[in-house]
């Protein structure tokens, strides 16, 4: 009897919470809502130590927190969410820890494309952003499969940064841009049409200007599939970017609540959105393109 | 010559620099420095009477091994500070200059090796709309940044800053900025002041990063003189970012690399992070990545300042406006830095 009544209590509390959340969302929606929010999910290991959990359990609780935050974001009407799941720097951790993280990610990625998952519920297209060649084969295959399975979803976007650092992304974009330019020139040369152009080009290029422009680089960024973030939220109170979205963060709001990632909640999202709304018109002027 | 009112103001600012390090007494509220500093006494010694000891003792709560080696500052809020006091914007910049002098002094005393300052917001960099009269060459090449130029106040701020650097080297005695500009425009030579005592030198190297091509000619010559004169100084490297855009810095680095690829010096597959680092404008400083970035005025964003260089930088956002940023605020930022745990994505320390 007691068990039944306590679960009844929990259900009622849950419904009340959900109702309250919907009220707050409708108030927030009277002002502009950010289009793209990025999360740095920091603090899982510290949470694990603090709660004396088994090693690796912190990341599992962190995953539940991620699902909750995704739900809140999509309910709020945020179109794009990006999360920093695994950095190239994280490969420096102990091999057992890296291995258990890889296994967790593979398990969760495969869960994403199941029928009842949040991805299908909200019509989310999933991208895996980063140097996927650095991942082990099973994880890479699971990621590619998830991207294909959700390719037709169009209501929202979830970008999961895995094996990613911003400097690696920029290097990759530069390599691709250079490769593309030289391929173009080689094709023109082969067809005999290129020499005249190169001659003309050569004079202008003498000054060392503008052979590759910002649009070329941006086109080849892994993150070119989504617009720049409006807010970057880093949990655990550390105020640094840790090589995440350096290029894309030029004008975005940086918010670092001191809560550990597994403990993050709706109230932190509300605060970030309010701060965004406070600065909205000022930021809009800066970003005008 | 500069117009009357700003000229008189700047002259008085400049002349104040040529005396001791005592802050200028004006009717505006002075920056929040400690009492000793305000009275021209620093650590028991009269300021400016001789070069301070190489490594001064640190304030309580700071440890030498946990001090940042390179600090970057976004000096935001000069205009808002002035507006809040009903003063003209020029007063805000003047107060900002005093604040900068104070922070430079503290960096020298506490052994910080590099200080990069970002003077103005990247309002100076805009992405032009296609129908705006922008050079067609720029649009064809896809370079989407156009420098719209600095205001007169910003130019005067820079003139004062660089002129003081020359004064610290004993290159120029007391005279006003108008005369300095005239000399620079006429023949570019500046007389060495033989009466200047070497002990007054601050041993600060000054460099500029960003685009100086749109600055007035006199200021460009001044900057060149300062960079040349101070290039061997080693106590503190002051890097002034003028019309600097983090995204543009990365783009120009990539363009240099693209030219090397075109000339078959390297292949596209040889491009790596190290190569890009070498081509960034910040390669003039030995330590190109800041350990700590401070932004004043409570704004929580980077505004296209350093981007690549901030990969692992600790960020500190101060509520006060830049003219109010003094020793206590700097100590708070350094204490916060000391408490940060940095493991660069790897194992916990």
Residues of B in contact with A239 (CB under 8 A): 314-317, 340
Question: Cβ of B345 and A210 within 8 Å?
Answer: no
pLDDT given at position B335:
92
* Sequential DSSP letters for B29-82: PPP---HHHHTTEETTEETTSSPPPSSPPPPTT--GGGS-SEEEEE---HHHHH
* Sequential DSSP letters for B223-273: HHHHHHHHTT--SEEEEEEES--HHHHHHHHHHHHHHHHHTTSS-GGG--H
List residues of B with catalytic annotation.
Answer: 76
With residue A39 as reference, give the H or E element that holds it: strand A36-40
Chain A CB within 8 Å of residue B310 CB: yes
**Which of B247, B268, B345 comes nearest A87 by C-beta?**
B345
Quote the CA–CA distance of B299 and B104 in Å, as a whole number. Answer: 23
Between vectors from CA A197 to CA A191 and to CA A201, what angle results, nearest 5°?
Answer: 140
Residues of B in contact with A175 (CB under 8 A): 268-269, 271
Mean pLDDT of B268-288: 84
Could you tell me the pLDDT band of residue A165, with boundaries at 50, 70 and 90? Answer: very high
Quote the CA–CA distance of A241 and A245 in Å, as a whole number. Answer: 8
Residue B170 has pLDDT above 90, yes or no: no
pLDDT given at position B196:
44
pLDDT given at position B157:
74
Chain A CB within 8 Å of residue B251 CB: yes
Q: Under a CB-based contact definition with an 8 Å cutoff, are residues A276 and A253 in contact?
A: yes
**Which of A94, A208, A288 comes nearest B259 by C-beta?**
A208
Closest residue in chain A to residue B340, using alpha carbons only: A238
Class of residue B261 by CB neighbours under 10 A (exposed 0-12, middle 13-18, buried 19+)? buried
Quote the CA–CA distance of B58 and B144 in Å, as a whole number. Answer: 46
A244 phi/psi in degrees, rounded to 5: -120, 120
Chain A CB within 8 Å of residue B152 CB: no
Quote the CA–CA distance of B195 and A62 in Å, as a whole number. Answer: 68
Closest residue in chain A to residue B312, using alpha carbons only: A242
Closest residue in chain B to residue A92, using alpha carbons only: B346
Residues of B in contact with A85 (CB under 8 A): none
Q: Under a CB-based contact definition with an 8 Å cutoff, are residues A248 and A229 in contact?
A: yes
Mean pLDDT of A18-44: 92
What pTM did the predictor assign? Answer: 0.79
Residues of B in contact with A243 (CB under 8 A): 311-312, 345
Helix, strand or coil for residue B159? Answer: helix
Q: Under a CB-based contact definition with an 8 Å cutoff, are residues B82 and B91 in contact?
A: yes
Question: Cβ of A252 and B301 within 8 Å?
Answer: yes
Residues of B in contact with A247 (CB under 8 A): 247, 250, 307
pLDDT digits (tens, 9 = 90+) for A113-126: 886 678 888 889 99
Say yes or no: ipTM exceeds 0.90: no
Mean pLDDT of A226-243: 92
pLDDT given at position B179:
61
Closest residue in chain A to residue B347, using alpha carbons only: A93
Lowest mean per-residue pLDDT among A87-96, A228-237, A267-276, B255-264 = B255-264
pLDDT digits (tens, 9 = 90+) for B18-70: 333 333 333 333 344 443 333 333 333 333 333 444 567 788 878 888 899 99
Could you tell me the pLDDT band of residue B113, with boundaries at 50, 70 and 90? Answer: very high
Mean pLDDT of B159-177: 65
Quote the CA–CA distance of A70 and A52 in Å, as a whole number. Answer: 27
**Which of B256, B307, B340 comes nearest A246 by C-beta?**
B307
Q: Under a CB-based contact definition with an 8 Å cutoff, are residues B17 and B167 in contact?
A: yes
pLDDT given at position A1:
52
Chain A CB within 8 Å of residue B319 CB: no
């Amino acid at each position: 009897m007691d068990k039944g009544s306590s679960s009844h209590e929990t259900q009622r509390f849950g419904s009340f919470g959900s109702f309250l959340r919907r009220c707050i969302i409708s108030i927030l929606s009277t002002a502009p809502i950010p289009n793209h929010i990025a999360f740095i999910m920091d603090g899982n290991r510290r949470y694990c130590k603090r709660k004396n959990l088994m090693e690796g359990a912190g990341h599992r609780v962190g995953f539940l927190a991620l699902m909750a935050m995704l739900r809140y974001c999509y309910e709020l009407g945020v179109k794009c969410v990006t999360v920093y799941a695994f950095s190239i720097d994280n490969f420096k951790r102990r091999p057992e820890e890296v291995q258990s993280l890889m296994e967790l990610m593979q398990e969760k990625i495969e869960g994403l494309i199941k029928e009842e998952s949040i991805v299908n519920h909200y019509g989310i297209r999933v991208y895996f952003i980063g140097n996927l060649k650095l991942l082990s084969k099973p994880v890479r295959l699971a990621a590619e499969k998830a991207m294909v399975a959700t390719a037709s979803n169009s209501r929202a976007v979830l970008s999961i940064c895995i094996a990613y650092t911003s400097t690696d992304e920029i290097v990759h974009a530069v390599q691709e841009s250079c490769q593309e330019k030289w391929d173009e020139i080689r094709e023109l040369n082969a067809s005999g049409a290129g020499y005249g152009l190169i001659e003309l080009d050569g004079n202008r290029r003498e000054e060392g200007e503008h052979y590759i422009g910002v649009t070329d680089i941006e086109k080849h960024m892994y993150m070119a599939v989504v617009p720049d973030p409006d807010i970057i939220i880093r949990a655990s109170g550390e105020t640094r970017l840790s090589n995440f979205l350096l290029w894309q963060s030029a004008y975005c709001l940086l918010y670092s609540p001191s809560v550990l990632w597994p403990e993050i909640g709706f109230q932190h999202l509300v605060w970030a959105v309010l701060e965004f709304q406070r600065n909205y018109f000022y930021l809009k002027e800066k970003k005008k393109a | 010559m500069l117009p009357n009112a700003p000229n008189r103001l700047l002259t008085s600012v400049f002349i104040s620099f040529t005396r001791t390090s005592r802050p200028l007494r004006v009717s505006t509220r002075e920056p929040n420095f400690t009492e000793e500093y305000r009275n021209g006494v620093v650590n028991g010694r009269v300021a400016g009477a001789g070069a301070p000891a190489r490594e001064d003792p640190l304030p309580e709560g700071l440890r030498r091994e946990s001090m940042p080696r390179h600090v970057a500052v976004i000096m935001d809020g000069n205009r808002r500070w002035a507006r809040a006091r009903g003063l003209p914007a020029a007063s805000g910049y003047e107060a900002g200059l005093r604040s900068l002098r104070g922070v430079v002094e503290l960096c020298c005393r506490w052994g910080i090796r590099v200080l990069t300052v970002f003077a103005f917001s990247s309002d100076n960099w805009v992405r032009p709309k296609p129908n705006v009269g922008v050079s067609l060459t720029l649009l064809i090449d896809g370079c989407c940044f156009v420098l719209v130029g600095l205001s007169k106040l910003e130019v005067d701020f820079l003139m004062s800053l660089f002129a003081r650097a020359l004064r610290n080297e004993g290159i120029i005695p007391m005279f006003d900025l108008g005369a300095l500009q005239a000399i620079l425009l006429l023949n570019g030579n500046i007389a060495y002041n033989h009466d200047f005592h070497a002990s007054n030198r601050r041993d600060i190297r000054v460099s500029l990063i960003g685009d100086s091509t749109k600055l007035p000619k006199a200021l460009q010559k001044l900057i060149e003189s300062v960079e040349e004169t101070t290039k061997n100084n080693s106590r503190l490297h002051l890097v002034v970012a003028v019309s600097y855009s983090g995204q543009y810095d990365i783009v120009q680095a990539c363009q240099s690399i693209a030219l090397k690829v075109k000339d078959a010096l390297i292949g596209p597959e040889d491009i790596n992070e190290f190569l890009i680092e070498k081509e960034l404008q910040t390669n003039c400083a030995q330590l190109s990545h800041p350990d700590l970035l401070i932004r004043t005025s409570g704004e929580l964003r980077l505004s296209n300042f350093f981007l690549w260089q901030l990969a692992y930088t600790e960020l500190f956002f101060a509520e006060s406006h830049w003219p109010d940023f003094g020793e206590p605020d700097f100590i708070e930022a350094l204490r916060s830095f000391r408490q940060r745990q940095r493991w660069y994505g790897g194992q916990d320390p």
